[in-house]
């Protein structure tokens, strides 16, 4: 089935000739091989389907017009922003791709501490605009290169600052939302005609319908505008960066400190997080640089902070006794930023950190106190502008072992998971040998603390098909371990849940089959009913995890 | 390398968006956060470096066709090289700019060029100049009476190379003359290739016309060698890049200096002092080929080597051109040395400077795109509150001049040599 001229012209009439294309070369660039930007979507080496056309709407009305045409002719559609994630691409053949690149505005409402944003406003631009007013936002762990609106509406969106600012579900306020039917819905206070400041309005929680805890991954239509909660920023209006590319750094003044806190064992590690959950002194808390792996992190930090260093310098650096000592020192660690509003506030926070270290037998890593290293880590965690170092070692990575939940539960399995990964690193050559433990993620994935959100960085080479296939087998191994602990689908299976290995979406029946075996299947049955109401014809994909309740009733 | 040799890079791109924005750490505002003119103007992802990688895979696999739209989009790239720098902030093994140019060469090999490119290349073949309508016979008119050695007739160590734009554009010819006089005044003995002075052909390379580039470059290298030249001085940033990076690959082994480096050196040595105050607030535009693409060339031959199972490295160590050591400070040192001049920086500077839009001859082949790109920069310059936009490249200056006056853009555009001249 191909798009007729009549349909194409109807779409063209909405967005204008300049903003639509059905040229084959253009459409081909709107396909994706999941292995190339993997991260939770499975190391699959196949291309996603070819869209019938690519349209670039410029506002809510144009999005609405496009969706109405799709409804009229039964065309699937998918909207995406930066296109990093596989879930932003279409999953069937008779489908059009919406690219929201033209919609990128950011308006700061200083008084109500909110930013009203459009889909293509990325974390970096929202933050830069907010900082001018002494405000900041939660930039999720994916980094500032991705869309704030997409993160907050469609995904978990927790990150380094979530301990002080909360995650996506806590920061999404009023939303302008074009439903899969083409109807425009306005949620929260915006829907009640009272402005953007509040996520909830009269009646049932529309925020809950739209995103729940993990987001509907773009399955429930297109959010065209959103207000997001902003938080105090006690720093300068513009990040004062310095240093030679690529090792940019920032000196934010005496009221900002970035530490790498290290602990003698997992129990002390976990206990320290409990203290931080209670005393509310962290601006940022994240286990960041362990993404390079337990064996490599200190050495990798030396490479990425030196403009002249290269990955090939690793073996030589690993002979350095000082760095060896530092790497050992930060075996079980996480990074924190404390930010003081006043000198007294800063002194209190410094004292609290020292007290917690004393109580848990922890220490500050010495190398990470060096000025260059400190200022690099401080900028890294504040802007998350270097987040794509995720890919620096091999070009691709897969997030495995999604240890999202209670910190004590997470540390129980952390070493077993690390051991399993190390076994694969040593027995096969498909994934990078970084030292087993490569778990990274938030000290808390919710505001105030209480839940971790980790993933193991499993680095592989998307160009090397043996590496891709071997990583897929490793993913199978992970899933077995997840089954053992009733963790449900592993991070790296989330794509497998919604797409076949050939890049096409699963059917509802196939969803049912998989999710009926999940630990809490009624959650997916609930989501099924929501999807049935909001997206009855599955016109915008099937990424949301659902389960037909009748399947469970029969069981 | 052929296009197919870039396959590992195409498949290792992780679509991080680094090629589309200035380094994320450097973002100061929504307005000036992006940094790829091509996707900036055309909006479809295909126009970004990421999209171009995807397109190449599709072309090589026989899915996409080299039709009119694809031909146009391949050539709608100024080869400014920012995508390469943005990528290298977090990646160590992708040469994005080289791929983009190779993709253009692939189109050219298949006879797919733009109508606007034909007169440029015809003029290069016939008159040895990349500016349509210009004649070889008039190339050295600008240098009349400057008392420079004719290096074809007598040996000389320092060659002054004006390049096509300075040689033929009347308002820029005076600037080139001023540069020569300035250096001569400081005691530098300059020569030119005279009748053998031809286009550096660097822009042909940027456009994907590799054969034409190599032919021109090899002829010029032969002429420089025959003349015994040890140093080439040029006021043109494009020529500078050609000699320093592209000719070096073909065996030219001489010192290459942009005029700003020479002037900066003269100031540091006390051989050039400014006597007049120039009360002016200026902002400086880093030309792509002087800045991020102005790094020294280091020969390399080797292969990929994986360590720790899958980590990519190179054996031997491969030079990494990430813009760190381009020519950024010399022009700023000059501006700071001029009494009365106050320098205000734009948001996109140094290795992440926005392109002027004239690269790869887009000025002639894609005039609307090129004009939009220049207009964006003039808007950014206006936003600083500066009176004058200073640059060190004739192509940039010319394109900015054309953009001034559009949509209320009123800034004065000056070549840095002009400004130096005013202070002497």
Please check whether residue A500 is in contact with residue A438, taking contact to mean a CB–CB distance below 8 angstroms.
no
Angle (CA) A213 A216 A221, round 5°: 140
- Chain B: residue nearest A86 by CA? B15
Q: Give the nearest chain B residue to A296 (CA atoms).
A: B308
The predicted structure's pLDDT at residue A118: 98
Residue B129, judged by CB atoms within 10 A of its CB (0-12, 13-18, 19+), counts as buried
Phi and psi torsions of B81, nearest 5°: 80, 5
Helix (H/G/I), strand (E/B), else coil: B128: coil
Confidence at residue B121, expressed as pLDDT on a 0 to 100 scale: 98
**What's the distance, Cα to Cα, between the start and end of chain B in Å?**
48
Please give the ipTM for the structure prediction.
Answer: 0.96
Does residue A495 have a pLDDT over 70?
A: no
Q: Which of B189, B257, B183, B193 is nearest to B225 (CA)?
A: B193
The C-alpha of A180 sits at a distance from chain B's nearest C-alpha, in angstroms, of: 24
Write phi, then psi, for B224 (nearest 5 degrees).
-60, -40
pLDDT the model gives residue A217:
86
CA distance A442 to A286: 4
pLDDT in tens, A198-212: 998 887 788 888 988
Q: Which of A125, A460, A467 sits opposite B33 (nearest CB)?
A: A125
What is the fold, at CATH topology level, of the domain defined by B125-268?
Rossmann fold (3.40.50)
Query: Which pLDDT tens digit goes with each residue over B28-56?
Result: 999 999 999 999 999 999 999 999 999 99
Region A103-131: mean pLDDT is: 98
Q: For residue A389, which of A257, A491, A296, A295 has the smallest C-alpha distance?
A: A296
CB of B73 less than 8 A from some CB of A: yes
Q: For B136-190, what is each residue's pLDDT tens digit? A: 999 999 999 999 999 989 889 999 999 999 999 999 999 999 999 999 999 999 9
Domain boundaries, chain B: 125-268
What class is the A106-232 domain? alpha beta
Residues 24-83 (A) with a CB less than 8 A from some CB of B: 24-26, 28-33, 36-37, 54, 56, 82-83
Strands A184-186 and A231-232: unpaired
At A78, give phi and psi (nearest 5°): -145, 130
> Cβ of B383 under 8 Å from any chain A Cβ?
no
State how far residue B15 is from chain A, nearest Cα, in angstroms: 5
Helix, strand, or coil here: B412?
strand
Write down the domain spans for chain A.
5-99, 106-232, 249-387, 393-493, 508-554
Residue B214, burial from CB neighbour count under 10 angstroms (0-12, 13-18, 19+): middle
Percent of chain B whose pLDDT exceeds 70: 100
Alpha carbon of B104: minimum distance to chain A alpha carbons (Å): 14
The neighbouring-strand residues paired with A441 are: A287, A454
CATH fold of the domain at A5-99: 3.30.43
Rounded to whole angstroms, the Cα distance separating B46 from B48 reads: 6
Cβ proximity of B302 and A422 under 8 Å: no
Rounded CA-CA distance A515/A497 in Å is 9
Instruction: For chain B, give the mean pLDDT.
Output: 96
Helix ranges (H only) for B257-393 are: 259-268, 329-337, 362-365, 367-384
Return the percentage of chain A with pLDDT > 70, whole number: 98
């Amino acid at each position: 089935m191909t798009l007729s001229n009549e349909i194409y012209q109807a779409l063209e009439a909405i967005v204008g000739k300049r903003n639509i294309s059905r040229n084959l070369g253009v459409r081909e660039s709107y396909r994706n091989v999941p292995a190339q930007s993997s991260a939770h979507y499975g190391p699959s080496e196949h291309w996603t389907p070819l869209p019938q056309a690519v349209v670039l709407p410029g506002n809510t009305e144009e999005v609405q017009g496009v969706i109405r045409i799709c409804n009229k002719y039964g065309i699937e559609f998918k909207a995406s922003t930066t296109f990093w994630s596989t879930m932003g691409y279409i999953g069937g053949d008779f489908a059009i791709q919406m690219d929201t690149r033209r919609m990128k505005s950011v308006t700061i409402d200083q008084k109500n501490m909110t930013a009203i944003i459009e889909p293509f406003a990325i974390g970096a631009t929202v933050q830069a605009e907010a900082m001018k007013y002494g405000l900041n936002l939660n930039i999720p762990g994916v980094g500032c290169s991705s869309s704030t609106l997409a993160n907050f509406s469609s995904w978990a969106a927790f990150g380094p600052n979530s301990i002080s600012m909360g995650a996506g579900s806590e920061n999404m306020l009023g939303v302008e939302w074009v439903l899969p039917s083409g109807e425009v819905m306005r949620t929260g206070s915006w829907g009640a005609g009272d402005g953007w400041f509040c996520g909830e309005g009269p009646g049932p929680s529309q925020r809950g319908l739209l995103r729940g805890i993990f987001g509907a991954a773009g399955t429930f239509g297109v959010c065209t505008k959103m207000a997001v909660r902003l938080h105090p920023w006690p720093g300068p209006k513009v990040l004062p960066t310095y240093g030679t590319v690529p090792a940019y750094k920032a000196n934010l003044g005496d009221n900002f400190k970035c530490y790498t806190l290290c602990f003698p064992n997992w129990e002390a590690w976990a206990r320290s997080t409990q203290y931080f959950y209670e005393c509310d002194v962290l601006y940022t808390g994240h286990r960041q640089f362990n993404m390079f792996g337990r064996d490599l992190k200190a050495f990798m930090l030396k490479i990425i902070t030196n403009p002249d260093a290269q990955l090939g310098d690793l073996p030589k650096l690993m002979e350095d006794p000082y760095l060896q000592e530092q790497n050992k020192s930060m075996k079980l660690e996480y990074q924190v930023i404390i930010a003081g509003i006043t000198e007294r506030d800063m002194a209190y926070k410094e004292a609290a950190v020292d007290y917690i270290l004393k109580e848990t037998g922890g220490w500050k890593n010495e190398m990470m106190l060096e000025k260059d290293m400190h200022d690099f880590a401080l900028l890294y965690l504040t802007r998350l502008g270097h987040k794509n170092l995720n890919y620096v070692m091999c070009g691709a990575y897969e997030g495995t072992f999604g240890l999202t939940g209670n910190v004590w539960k997470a540390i129980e399995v952390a070493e077993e998971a690390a051991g399993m990964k190390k076994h694969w690193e040593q027995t096969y050559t498909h994934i990078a040998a970084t030292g087993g433990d490569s778990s990274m993620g938030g000290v808390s994935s919710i505001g105030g603390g209480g839940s971790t959100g980790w993933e193991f960085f499993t680095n592989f080479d998307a160009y090397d098909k043996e590496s891709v296939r071997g990583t897929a087998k490793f993913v199978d191994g992970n899933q077995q371990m997840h089954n053992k602990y009733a963790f449900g689908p592993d991070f790296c299976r989330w794509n497998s849940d919604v797409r076949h290995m050939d890049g096409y979406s699963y059917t509802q029946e196939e969803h049912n089959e998989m999710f009926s075996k999940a630990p809490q299947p009624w959650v997916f049955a609930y989501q099924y009913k929501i999807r049935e109401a909001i997206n009855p014809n599955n016109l915008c994909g099937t990424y949301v995890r659902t389960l037909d309740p009748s399947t469970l009733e029969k069981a | 390398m052929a296009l197919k040799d870039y396959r590992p890079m195409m498949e290792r791109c992780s679509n991080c968006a680094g090629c589309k924005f200035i380094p994320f750490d450097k973002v100061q505002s929504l307005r000036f956060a992006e940094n790829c003119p091509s996707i900036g103007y055309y909006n479809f992802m295909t126009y970004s470096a990421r999209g171009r990688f995807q397109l190449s895979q599709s072309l090589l696999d026989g899915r996409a066709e080299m039709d009119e739209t694809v031909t146009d989009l391949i050539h709608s790239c100024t080869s400014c090289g920012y995508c390469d720098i943005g990528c290298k902030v977090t990646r160590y093994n992708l040469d994005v700019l080289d791929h983009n140019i190779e993709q253009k060469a692939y189109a050219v090999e298949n006879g797919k060029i733009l109508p606007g490119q034909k007169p440029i290349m015809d003029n290069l073949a016939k008159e040895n100049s990349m500016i349509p309508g210009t004649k070889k016979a008039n190339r050295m008119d600008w240098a009349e009476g400057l008392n420079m050695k004719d290096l074809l007739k007598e040996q000389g160590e320092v060659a002054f190379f004006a390049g096509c734009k300075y040689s033929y554009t009347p308002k820029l010819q005076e600037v080139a003359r001023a540069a020569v006089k300035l250096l001569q005044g400081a005691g530098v003995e300059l020569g030119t290739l005279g009748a053998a002075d031809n286009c550096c052909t660097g822009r042909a390379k940027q456009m994907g016309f590799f054969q034409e580039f190599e032919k021109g470059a090899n002829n010029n290298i032969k002429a420089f060698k025959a003349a015994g030249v040890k140093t080439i001085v040029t006021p043109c940033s494009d020529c500078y890049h050609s000699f320093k990076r592209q000719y070096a690959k073909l065996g030219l082994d001489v010192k290459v200096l942009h005029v700003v480096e020479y002037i900066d050196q003269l100031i540091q040595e006390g051989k050039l002092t400014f006597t007049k105050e120039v009360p002016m607030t200026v902002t400086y535009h880093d030309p792509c080929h002087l800045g991020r693409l102005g790094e020294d060339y280091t020969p390399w031959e080797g292969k990929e080597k994986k360590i720790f199972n899958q980590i990519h490295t190179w054996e031997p160590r491969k030079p990494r051109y990430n813009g760190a050591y381009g020519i950024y400070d010399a022009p700023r040192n000059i501006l700071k040395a001029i009494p009365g001049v106050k320098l205000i920086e734009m948001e996109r500077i140094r290795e992440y400077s926005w392109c002027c839009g004239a690269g790869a001859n887009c000025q002639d082949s894609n005039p609307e795109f090129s004009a939009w790109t220049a207009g964006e920069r003039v808007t950014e310059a206006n936003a600083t509150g500066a009176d004058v936009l200073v640059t060190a490249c004739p192509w940039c200056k010319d394109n900015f001049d054309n953009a001034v006056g559009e949509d209320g853009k009123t800034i004065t555009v000056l070549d840095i040599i002009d400004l130096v001249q005013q202070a002497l």
